[in-house]
Structure 1
Amino acid sequence: MTILHSFKHYLEILFVATRLGLTSFGGPVAHLAYFQEEYIKRKKWLDDKTYADLIALCQFLPGPASSQVGISIGMLRGGIIGGILAWIGFTLPSVIALILFAMFIVQADVTDSTFIAALKVVAVAVVAHAILNMGKKLTPDLPRIAFAISAAAVLLLFPFASTQIIVIILAASAGYIAFKHKELDTQTSLTLNLSKTVGIFSISLFFILLVALPVISRTVDHVYIHLFDIFYRVGSLVFGGGHVVLPLLERELVPSGFLSEEMFLAGYGAAQAIPGPLFTFSSYLGQVAAALPGAVIATLGIFLPSFLLLVGILPFWKSISQFKAVRAALIGVNAAVVGILVAAFYDPIFTSAVTDGVDFAVALVGFSLLQFWQKPAWLVVIITVLLYVLIQLFS
């Protein structure tokens, strides 16, 4: 492959991913539909079976599933460089939008404004909708419903950041016990030209950082190190996609004084109105906490585990996926994720946003537009904010 041909090849990966990053509204499920239309039907870069295997792999790993699928497709197309370019294209538009929003909200000092209150109410509608949709898929029977309820109850009774990690570990163990005899599809056609040596190095680096960063953060008192440690750990331990990142980040950042709960929820509401992955919410949080360097550190920190895990797991996935124990444990984790969302929905989302009948009524309208009229999230954000502002103006 000539240098010119390689350049054009990589440029195409970046261009296609950027177009998706600018137009992929609607959350992780919608992102996967956009990917299928673009990468499979239009570009024919992979077939439906390989695409399904990629989705299964990324559901197995912690982190932002839709972003990981996009990164994996980039790797299939252009190796590690292709994966990086696919991530940049899909992620950068929403990163820029949320950094600009954070700059505006900090400089304007609108933390107590009607606009911020409206965005907090939006978060109520969006998370309630996400819980119902995820619950239908991940808790379709009584055992998995019990997993979700138990996870939610434990988190509400013991609202600490470490509790969520313990819940995930217990759910994986319980999932293995409960579903190890269940018939599970373990076939995969996924192949990728990454060496096992590179894979071992990558997975080793993932665990080294996961263990070392908390130690370094406690030893060296610097805001950038603290931020990188927080976002790397969250990116390493979040199962279930973007909405599940909310409780982990909230319990890490708000009590530590990086930002207020109002600022946190306002950014979460704004993140619903833009295309691209919800994990770019980290860019907003980093900007509010420590300006532009903080935004860059937070963004790299939360996405780096996905890269290291993908490069580490992909060379071995065909073998790993044959183990039914792995699939069974993942069923338990996915069910617990629903419970984590339920706990986060109550506190801080509902308790902070809904203080009277008006708040609840507007949240109900937003939820109904998402759930029953199936309107896109970005449109619901706009409608809900306008409705809330108008009610406050004329009340």
Structure 2
Amino acid sequence: MTVEKIEGSTATSAPAEVLLIFLKLGLTCFGGPVAHIGYFRDEFVVRRKWIDEHAYADLVGLCQFLPGPASSQVGFSIGLMRAGYLGALAAWTGFTLPSAAILVLFAYGAGALGGPVGAGLLHGLKLTAVAIVAQAVWGMARNLCPDRERASIAVAAALIILFSTASIAQIGAIVLGGLAGWWLCRSQAPAPSGHVEILVSRIVGLTTLGIFFVLLAGLPVLRSLSGSSGVALFDAFYRSGALVFGGGHVVLPLLREAFVAPGWLSDDAFLAGYGAAQAVPGPLFTFAAYLGTVVSAEPHGLAGAALGLVGIFLPGILVLLGALPFWDSFRKRTDAQAVMRGVNAAVVGVLGAALYDPLWTTTVYRGKDFGIVLVGFVLLVAWRAPPLVVVAFSAAAGAVMALV
């Protein structure tokens, strides 16, 4: 078992501390997985110093490469490193519960904010995400792309994302970044390596990987043999979560095919939930809570929401636990450090591309929008304001602009 210390942290930290911090993030992290990575960096790298920049970027690169919801995997890992398995569960619960609860309420008929003020407030919250991601790209580029080789890798990764329409482009950009790092960055001095506490043994890692593949292959068989609608629903959620690469938005077409095509709910109901999921904080995968609530097959309601959340998040957690025991020893090798330099630079490029599309292109429509983003960015970078302050400012500014 590898037990190495994050500077400034302790493995005996109360899971309650982790739960409260991630609950706050679950209530304030708007904007999807890319923005969440920016929020996490500000909270755990800059403010609390639970993990250093290089170790955090390595962790983000790993989670971006694995199937599943990258931001939730990053949060789960930080909770695990901070307070063990209970900390990991606390991190996942705190980050997931707020948006899941909101979407369940929406499914039961709690209407979204209406009128111009409500629409403006929601738009202001989305503008917060642009400022948060811009801050993350700015800070990570300064630390992880300090030379022309890594800056070039970042630009190449951004171009791959921007010029490709395939969801696998994100994985391809990270893989090519790693190969470029191995070729171009081997002669550089060893990078400072963050001390990472991995409380997962290799036996546990191999076991969780085995469970991941057994469920992936076995659930469809059990579904056909049992004829149970509960097993069918769990299989649909699990398979969608297991086959997602490239971020939370990629899961939506998979879920639509899995739930609308069999007639479990209408396309209008699906799209209504999708719109609500984009307007709430927290991981987009909590869309599964809405689907589990409104689906016509049994179980639905609260039981269906719980089934959906477990089913869609479980594969990403299993494969992450399978990778973590081997990741830390891998990244300490000289060649591996060169690869990770390239991967880290590619992650910066991927974040930079995502800052433009989908965040900028779907949020910043006019000069007023850019002004709100600019103020939020300056508050974060120059004034070092907490993200919650920027969330409050952007939401209020969006509501005022809607009235004006």
Partner residue in 2 for 1:67? 76
Partner residue in 2 for 1:276? none
> What is the distance in 2 between the residues matched to 1:343 and 1:188?
26
Change (3 A) 1:360 1:232: same
Partner residue in 1 for 2:159? 153
> What is the distance in 1 between the residues matched to 2:205 and 2:384?
41
Partner residue in 2 for 1:173? 179
C-alpha root-mean-square deviation of aligned residues, in Å? Answer: 4.1
> What is the distance in 2 between the residues matched to 1:226 and 1:349?
28
Cα deviation per residue 1:67-114 (whole Å; 9 max; x = unaligned)? 313213433xxxxxxx1x112223323322212333455631448822
Identical-residue share of aligned pairs (%): 23
Could you tell me how far 1:185 is from its partner in structure 2? 5.2
Partner residue in 1 for 2:120? 114
1:1-395 pair list within 5 angstroms? 13-22=14-23, 26-32=39-45, 58=59, 61-62=62-63, 63=70, 64-75=73-84, 83=85, 85-103=86-104, 107=109, 108-110=111-113, 113-184=119-190, 196-206=202-212, 212=217, 224-234=234-244, 245=247, 259=271, 263=276, 265-267=278-280, 270-271=281-282, 280-283=283-286, 285-291=287-293, 293=304, 297-298=308-309, 301-302=312-313, 304-306=315-317, 308-310=319-321, 313-314=324-325, 319-393=329-403, 395=404
Change (3 A) 1:249 1:139: farther
Change (3 A) 1:194 1:266: closer
Q: Contact 1:282–1:302 (CA<8 Å) still a contact in 2?
A: yes
Could you tell me how far 1:380 is from its partner in structure 2? 0.6
> What is the distance in 2 between the residues matched to 1:196 and 1:20?
29
User: Aligned AA for 1:93?
Assistant: G
Change (3 A) 1:134 1:252: farther
Could you tell me how far 1:328 is from its partner in structure 2? 1.5
Change (3 A) 1:21 1:225: same
Change (3 A) 1:121 1:265: farther
> What is the distance in 2 between the residues matched to 1:152 and 1:61?
18
Q: Contact 2:154–2:350 (CA<8 Å) still a contact in 1?
A: yes
Q: Contact 2:154–2:348 (CA<8 Å) still a contact in 1?
A: yes
Which segment drifts farther, 148-157 or 90-99? 90-99
Change (3 A) 1:255 1:177: farther
User: Aligned AA for 1:68?
Assistant: S
> What is the distance in 1 between the residues matched to 2:61 and 2:342?
11
Which segment drifts farther, 325-334 or 107-116? 107-116
Alignment partner of 1:375: what SS?
A: coil
Cα deviation per residue 1:278-299 (whole Å; 9 max; x = unaligned)? xx4432x323444354576446
Change (3 A) 1:116 1:251: farther
Partner residue in 1 for 2:66? none
> What is the distance in 1 between the residues matched to 2:210 and 2:369?
48
> What is the distance in 1 between the residues matched to 2:210 and 2:310?
21
Higher helix proportion, which one?
A: 1
Could you tell me how far 1:146 is from its partner in structure 2? 1.1
> What is the distance in 1 between the residues matched to 2:78 and 2:153?
27
User: Aligned AA for 1:266?
Assistant: A
User: Aligned AA for 1:144?
Assistant: R
Question: How high is the TM-score relative to the length of structure 2?
Answer: 0.68
Unaligned runs of 5+ in 1: 1-9, 38-47, 76-82, 239-244, 272-279
Partner residue in 2 for 1:275? none
Could you tell me how far 1:225 is from its partner in structure 2? 3.6
Alignment partner of 1:350: what SS?
A: helix
Alignment partner of 1:161: what SS?
A: coil
Could you tell me how far 1:252 is from its partner in structure 2? 6.5
> What is the distance in 2 between the residues matched to 1:392 and 1:148?
37
> What is the distance in 1 between the residues matched to 2:193 and 2:133?
33
Alignment: residue pair count: 342
> What is the distance in 2 between the residues matched to 1:30 and 1:282?
22
Q: Contact 1:198–1:311 (CA<8 Å) still a contact in 2?
A: yes
Change (3 A) 1:325 1:366: same
> What is the distance in 1 between the residues matched to 2:54 and 2:156?
30
> What is the distance in 1 between the residues matched to 2:306 and 2:372?
31
> What is the distance in 1 between the residues matched to 2:43 and 2:350?
22
Alignment partner of 1:27: what SS?
A: helix
Change (3 A) 1:262 1:370: farther
Q: Contact 2:76–2:88 (CA<8 Å) still a contact in 1?
A: yes
Q: Contact 2:16–2:90 (CA<8 Å) still a contact in 1?
A: yes
Change (3 A) 1:367 1:32: closer
